[in-house]
Amino acid sequence: MKKTKDKVKTDWSFQEALKVYNMPFNDLLYQAQTIHRENFKNNKIQMSTLLSVKTGSCPEDCAYCPQSAHHNTNLEKEKLISIEKVKEAAINAKAAGSTRFCLGAAWRSPTDNDLNTVCEMIKEVSSLGLETCVTLGMLKDHQAKKLAEAGLDYYNHNIDTSEEYYSKIISTRTYEDRLNTLENVRKADLKVCCGGILGMGESVQDRIKMLITLANLPKHPESVPLNQLIKIPGTPLEKEKDLDAIELIKTIALARILMPFSYVRLSAGRTKMSESTQALAFLAGANSIFQGDVLLTAENPNKEKDTKLLNKLGIVSEELTLNQNA
């Protein structure tokens, strides 16, 4: 029976989710693709572009991040860029087929003064007919409201991993800090973009628990980015073992089943994925990607490579509609 949005399950137990994850692979993908087709258009994906508007010198110590001031990654630091540069990049993104333009700033949390500038950026991007998303770190209640007043559509704030594994990745902010920001975003009536990173040394159980945390929120995130770790030299995770491709696909399928109405984005790490792995990810229910050569500061497949793959698979870019979820 097809679920309606007011009857989505938000009380998943670990054992329930584990049972789904441990289904035979073909059965798992069949169920995920069936749920996907009940709630989304077949063979369409949402295209986004992500721009770094303030780069490096972040005081947080996230073990995966080249922008942390705690790691020596030889990253070129950059202050908050101009509104004109943002508008130019957004125009190019729209011409390339993106329907959402995302702005990322390497802050623990924005100052009110910097937030004013970001709000002007949001207004410029919105005026082009693009959806907007920003990721700026932790937000206070009044800051979330200010972003909403500026016309922001989505706020990205990932939980990264399970609560149990979290302290092995980050020590400068707590899991509760992240959940509090998500609550402030929801109270401001903004849409939530929240996911995590796979391949940081966490267990399968940690990945399942991370997805349960998201699926058991009062309202599911409209967008769930799942990133494969990009091992950046100079970060504590640069020598981490590669993530098994089948485990990646199974995690994507579980996300689709637990959160049937959420867009599941195959985010960072695609440059190291084969075409076959990406094809399986789309079969498992992923229906959003970032396009463009760079994701904040990391490498991403170029437009030509993505177009070639999507043409092979018969997948096309989704057009923006007024009532689109994510």
Residues 112-122 pLDDT 10s: 999 999 999 99
Which ranges of the chain does DSSP label H, i.e. alpha helix? 14-21, 25-39, 83-95, 112-126, 141-149, 163-166, 175-187, 204-215, 245-258, 275-283, 303-313
Q: 95-104, 149-158, 301-310 — which one is most confidently predicted on average? A: 149-158
Are 135 and 105 spatial neighbours (Cβ–Cβ below 8 Å)?
yes
For the chain, domains (ranges, CATH) are 10-313 (3.20.20.70)
Mean pLDDT on 267-275: 88
Q: Catalytic site residue 119?
A: no
Active site residue 62: yes
When pLDDT is averaged across residues 243-247 and rounded to a whole number, the result is 95
What's the pLDDT at 5?
A: 64
Q: Is the pLDDT of residue 326 over 50?
A: no
Instruction: State the catalytic residue, choosing from 100, 119, 178, 193.
Output: 193
Q: What is the mean pLDDT of residues 290-313?
A: 77
> SS3 for 176?
helix
- Report which DSSP code applies to 226: E
Residue 268 has pLDDT above 90, yes or no: no
Position 240 scores a pLDDT of 85
Determine the Cα–Cα distance for residues 158 and 177; give it in Å rounded to an integer. 11
Q: Distance between CA 139 and CA 247 in Å, rounded?
A: 33
At a CB cut-off of 8 Å and minimum separation 6, what does 79 contact? Answer: 54
Question: How much is the pLDDT for 4?
Answer: 59
194 flagged as catalytic: no
Q: Quote the DSSP letter at residue 237.
A: T
Catalytic residue chosen out of the listed positions 133, 194, 256, 270: 133
CB atoms < 10 A from the CB of 317, how many?
Answer: 18
Residues recorded for the chain = 326
User: Are the CB atoms for 73 and 232 separated by under 8 Å?
Assistant: yes
Please give the Cα distance from 44 to 68 (Å, whole number). Answer: 35
pLDDT: is 323 or 26 the higher one?
26
Task: For 192-231, write each residue's pLDDT tens digit.
Answer: 999 999 999 999 999 999 999 999 999 999 999 999 998 8
The one catalytic residue in 173, 207, 256, 265 is: 265
Is 265 labeled as catalytic in the residue annotation?
yes
Mean pLDDT, rounded, of the chain: 88
The answer to whether 58 is a known catalytic residue is: yes
pLDDT at 52 over 60: yes
Indicate the helix (H) or strand (E) that contains 55.
none
Residues 6+ apart with CB under 8 A from 90: 49, 51, 101, 124, 125, 128, 130
Q: What is the pLDDT of residue 43?
A: 93
**What residues are paired with 68 via a beta bridge?**
58
User: What's the mean pLDDT in 124-128?
Assistant: 93
Q: What span, in angstroms and rounded, lies between the C-alpha atoms of 192 and 215?
A: 12
Residues 184 and 220: beta-carbon distance below 8 Å:
no
The per-residue pLDDT for range 9-51, each reduced to its tens digit, is: 999 999 999 999 999 999 999 999 999 999 999 999 999 998 8
- Once rounded to an integer, what is the mean pLDDT over residues 77-92? 87
Query: β-strands 100-105, 294-295: how paired?
Result: unpaired
pTM: predicted TM-score of the whole model, two decimal places:
0.90
For 162-198, how does the pLDDT look when each residue is reduced to its tens digit (9 = 90+)? Answer: 999 999 999 898 999 999 999 999 999 999 999 999 9
| The pLDDT value given to residue 60 | 79
What pLDDT score was predicted for residue 1? 40
What pLDDT is recorded for position 65?
A: 82
Whether the per-residue pLDDT at 94 is higher than 80: the answer is yes
Neighbours of 38 (CB within 10 A): 12
Active-site annotation holder among 100, 102, 178, 256: 102
48-62, 92-106, 242-256: which is most confident: 242-256
